[in-house]
Amino acid sequence: AKNGGRNMVCQVTPALQRQIDDRRSLASDIPRAIERGEFVPFFQPQIDVQTGRIIGAETLVRWQHPDRGMLPPGQFLQSAVELGLIDRIDHHMLVAAMQVSLRLREAGYPLPSLSVNVSEARLIDPLLPRQIDTLWIDRDCLLSIELLETIYFDEASENNQFSQNLSQLKELGVRIETDDFGTGRASMTGLLKIAPDRLKIDKSLVQEVVHSSQKRSLVKAIVEMANALDIDCLAEGVETQADIDAITALGCCKFQGYAISYPQSEEDLLAYLSTVPIA
How, if at all, do strands 113-117 and 142-148 pair?
Answer: parallel
263's contact among Ca ion, ligand C2E, none, with CB below 5 to 8 A by partner kind, is ligand C2E
Q: Is 178 in the site for ligand C2E (CB under 6 A)?
A: no
Candidates 47-55, 124-132, 143-151, 257-265: pick the segment binding Ca ion (CB under 5 A): 143-151
Q: d(Cα 155, Cα 131) in Å, to the nearest integer? A: 24
Candidates 11-19, 41-49, 70-78, 233-241: pick the segment binding Ca ion (CB under 5 A): 233-241
Q: Is 117 in the site for Ca ion (CB under 5 A)?
A: yes
Q: d(Cα 128, Cα 175) in Å, to the nearest integer? A: 14
Length, in residues, of the chain: 279
76 burial (CB, 10 Å; 0-12 / 13-18 / 19+) is buried
**One residue of 30, 54, 71, 93 binding ligand C2E per CB under 6 A:** 93
Q: Whose Cβ is closer to Ca ion: residue 29's or residue 58's? A: 58
73's contact among ligand C2E, Ca ion, none, with CB below 5 to 8 A by partner kind, is ligand C2E
Q: Which residues of 9-44 are buried (b: 16+ CB within 10 A; e: fewer)?
A: eeeeeeeeeeeeeeeeebbebbeebbeeebbebbbb
Binding track, positions 137-176, relative to ligand C2E; x by CB under 6 A: ----------------------------------------
Q: Whose Cβ is closer to ligand C2E: residue 194's or residue 205's? A: 205
- The candidate with the shortest Cα–Cα distance to 148, out of 192, 197, 185, 98, is 185
Q: Whose Cβ is closer to ligand C2E: residue 231's or residue 238's? A: 238
Q: d(Cα 187, Cα 15) in Å, to the nearest integer? A: 41
Q: Is 37 in the site for ligand C2E (CB under 6 A)?
A: no
Q: Whose Cβ is closer to ligand C2E: residue 93's or residue 132's? A: 93
Q: Is 69 in the site for ligand C2E (CB under 6 A)?
A: no
Q: Whose Cβ is closer to Ca ion: residue 29's or residue 143's? A: 143
Q: Which residue is nearest to ligand C2E (CB)?
A: 257
Q: Whose Cβ is closer to Ca ion: residue 90's or residue 236's? A: 236
Asked if 178 and 197 count as a contact pair (C-beta separation under 8 A), the reply is no
How, if at all, do strands 232-236 and 254-256 pair?
Answer: parallel
Asked if 186 and 221 count as a contact pair (C-beta separation under 8 A), the reply is no
Report the interhelical angle of 160-172 vs 128-135 (nearest 10°): 20
Q: Which residues bind Ca ion (CB under 5 A)?
A: 117, 146, 179-180, 236
